Chains A and B, each alone.
Chain A
Amino acid sequence: MSFLDELGSFLGSANNRSQILGDLLEHCYLALVPLVAGVVIAIALCWLGRTWRPMRGVLLAVANVVYTIPSLALFVVIPSVIGTKILDSINVVVALTLYTSALLIRPTLDALEAVPQQVIASATAMGYRPARRFFAVELPLAVPVLTAGVRVASVSNISLVSVGALIGVGGLGVLFTDGFQREYFSPIVVGIVLTLVLALVVDLLLVLLRRILTPWERASASARRAVPA
């Protein structure tokens, strides 16, 4: 059978198709929940890091160490630490949340520290208290850099979820283990293609999200265009 024939018969089975769809949706979930959680945690930690100076160094150091831990090692160690059973999908979610947070700490800190002093000063002058100022001024200005970090994290997460198949967690990784066990190319190819497509789609959505959240960039860009350079 040529490869295309094999692919045809693989996708031709309704049972196969519904399994692939299920795997895809689960993969989606396992990659995106940590992304959102990671962003929230990174922002919260950075806010703390800016309020208490000594925490900043600790934060960067810990983030560095966490990010260094190899993926499979983290997946198998987390259950003992948080008390779940080893083959539970929550382990993957927790592990990826840790990675995402660790990855985002540095860019978030940099972004927050890059907000010009004048802007903060004027916000305070306008009567913003620190918390309000954080959410209404500093965070929105940090969005571009944050999004860049989140895009990197999303690609990483989507790729790492597959490794979860080695500890029995679903997602597209199941296609790889199945294909490997049976010397069957089709599921592997389908799995790789779907992973890439998913990464692309999520990336585009994030770019879109950034556009929505930073209307001033569009405004200033069009203003610049209106005035002859």
Chain B
Amino acid sequence: MGRYLTKRLLLVVPTILGVVTLVFFLRFLAPGDPARLMLGERATPDAVKVLRADWGLDRPKLDQYLIYMGKVLRLDLGRSYKTGDPVAREILTRFPATVELSVVSIVIAAILGILAGVVAATRRNTIADFVAMVGSLVGVSMPVFWLGLVLIIVFAVRLNLFPTGGRLDERMLMERITGFYVIDGFIRIFKEHDFSYFFSALKHIVLPSLALATLPLAVIARVTRAAMLEILGQDYIRTARAKGLPERTVIWSHAFRNALLPVITIIGIEFGYNLAGAVLTETIFAWPGLGNWLYNAVLARDYLSVQGGVTFVSIAFILINLLVDVIYAYVNPRIRY
């Protein structure tokens, strides 16, 4: 266990360095020069030259790389080409919104996915199983950007139950305590006896988190079903049933606890994808998170912001996968690499 963990942890370092390197050099695939792009077609060559020198773009690529790497190691991601704001600060301001959305949607996905998977496995080859499995394939095949719009049409435009986007009603200004508006709104109930912020935050998160939950829900359901089917076929389950234990006990305390390992793993992996893949959902619901900001940086060709954002999200993704592996190794005593 100790040796496995050490090895796994050590492997993270070159992976992160590799990610930073790859993202850095990806930029040079881009046609055109950032300074020229920023100043427009009619800028004088001198102005472009000055700006290039200012940004360090006139140095050799290797120098630029080493300088950037040195800055990244000091957690400095540079300043946005467009706004001049520090990229790291921009990222940290928006990150809580993305985390909040991802957590809520993964919780929804985990609860519903596990239920669907267990029901499908215990009623194998019945209508319920068929519906759950076809449903999960539909979920896997769902274009999330389209689903988001359909949810908006049905629940926001037609039924007027939820807002079409954003995190809060427009007139509201949330005092940032944790950055998670549902929690901040909850705290406000006690501080100011004001329920409106909490309910507004809740109302705003429903549709985007449902859209973002679809894919992980489908995947979790499939993995749960497969894991349960394997366990339910084993002898100790037959023994438990033969002892006369109620079916509910057999399924949940005997079978499900042992099927939990792959399910926990897939939940972790899907959470990582949620954090990263929230770009589409955030764009549709005008959710002011990292994905939305990153997309705008991409459109504006603000390379340093894109570079910083992608690096940050990828490192978060790597660390979550590391955590999943550690939990897996911890829970499963059979792993001894």
**Pairing of A with B:** no
